[in-house]
Amino acid sequence: MGFRMRKSIKLMPGVRMTFSKSGIGYSAGVKGYRVTKRADGRVQRTVSAPGTGLSHVSSVGGRRPNRSLPPSPKPKAIKPSMFAPKGEKELYQAVQAQDIAAMERVMETHPSHSLPAAAIAGLMLLSRGDNVRCRQLFESVFQSGQDPAADPFIAKYVSVHFTLDVVPGASAELGLDRSAVGLALAELRQGDGDISGAIDVVEQLEPTTYAALSLAELYCASDRFDEVVELTNGISNDDDSTALLCVFRGIAFREQTHFEAARESFKEALKSKRREAAVRHRALLERARCYEAEGKRGMAKKDLERILAEDAHYEGLRDAIEELSQS
């Protein structure tokens, strides 16, 4: 999993301003045509045929984008009243100043505000790449069993939304709630090599497609293939996320040497050409591995070449095709 975040406001009909760590971008347009000035300097033009799902995107200029980290939460326009509790005022000032040390002091001196202080400070630490301290705070938030989104301070003052890359090809739009903290904590545990700990967190979350995707990936990483099969029973390719669940189901069957069942799952994952390229390419890659495990190297090569036709720069693909050709 990975994190991207953005915050945007609507200026007028058809015009929107987006804030990110790299700067400010603007977007304007009407139905069927939109021009976006990105924060990195690139200008993107999108032309679409309304009602068809077809569109063309072109971009020029700017610098090559880097993997972005979450920006820090900012308070809403509303401010604490003069009669607000001291902890509320101090935490508001700390968030406004993006002062993590001040938030930690609030945690110590005002226990009633420790949950929002820990959640917000953890998010800021994540945005700054301090995963060790972020994990410590998110651990405390998650272990409390409370939902940060239901906390009066966060509900009243803080507005932030994540785009969370649950697995390559599937993203979730989340606020600062228990699911977001849990999925972030699972990634941090996974990054530290604690796969079982990551699984334990995700298994406690509300059952959603995104939680299922995270679990399927983690189960596969720990060779718990029976649980992947159980988790994905009855799944069909309805969108990018469910298509990826079909891929994980196919991986589980393949690793159990149930090759026919695996190929059926990959076939389901590939039945719609409307899926994102990352999803289709993952399905083709995993099916190619299935064919190779069956000794059908020609079929494996064919699937890899289908990826190559769409993405000539797919990492390691040419070497894999050459290896299959020499066998």
Angle between helices 195-203 and 209-221 (to 10 degrees): 160
CA distance 54 to 192: 41
The whole-number pLDDT of residue 71 equals: 60
The whole-number pLDDT of residue 79 equals: 87
Query: pLDDT digit string (tens) for 178-231?
Result: 999 999 899 899 999 999 999 999 999 999 888 999 999 999 999 999 999 999
CA distance 254 to 235: 17
The whole-number pLDDT of residue 270 equals: 97
The whole-number pLDDT of residue 326 equals: 78
Can you tell me whether residue 154 is helix, strand or coil? helix
The whole-number pLDDT of residue 50 equals: 46
**Sorting pLDDT into bands at 50, 70 and 90, what band is 2?**
very low
Model confidence at 42: pLDDT above 80: no
Sign of CA dihedral 145, 97, 16, 125: negative
The whole-number pLDDT of residue 16 equals: 47
Query: Pick the residue with more confidence: 323 or 166?
Result: 323
Model confidence at 72: pLDDT above 80: no
What percentage of the chain exceeds 90 in pLDDT? 56
pTM of the entire predicted model:
0.72
Q: Where are the alpha helices (DSSP H) in 222-296?
A: 225-231, 240-255, 259-269, 277-293
1-5, 159-163, 169-173, 280-284: the lowest-pLDDT one: 1-5
**Sorting pLDDT into bands at 50, 70 and 90, what band is 74?**
low
Average pLDDT taken over every residue of the chain: 82
Q: How many CB atoms lie within 10 A of CB 273?
A: 6
CA distance 214 to 205: 11
DSSP 192: T
Please answer whether residues 92 and 75 qualify as being in contact, where contact means their C-beta atoms are separated by less than 8 angstroms. yes
**What is the DSSP annotation of 112-135?**
GGHHHHHHHHHHHHHHTT-HHHHH
The whole-number pLDDT of residue 41 equals: 57
Query: pLDDT digit string (tens) for 297-314?
Result: 999 999 999 999 999 888
Model confidence at 256: pLDDT above 90: yes
The whole-number pLDDT of residue 319 equals: 85
Cβ partners under 8 Å of residue 15, min gap 6: 26, 27, 28
The whole-number pLDDT of residue 144 equals: 96
- The full set of domains in the chain, from first to last, is 2-60 (no CATH), 68-220 (1.25.40), 223-327 (1.25.40.10)
Cα–Cα separations (whole angstroms), residue 274 to 57, 105, 127, 277, 283: 16, 50, 33, 9, 14
SS (H, E, C) 29-85: EECCEEEEECCCCCEEEEEEECCCCEEEEEEECCCCCCCCCCCCCEECCCCCCCCCC
CA distance 25 to 67: 17
Query: pLDDT digit string (tens) for 114-137?
Result: 999 999 999 889 888 899 999 999
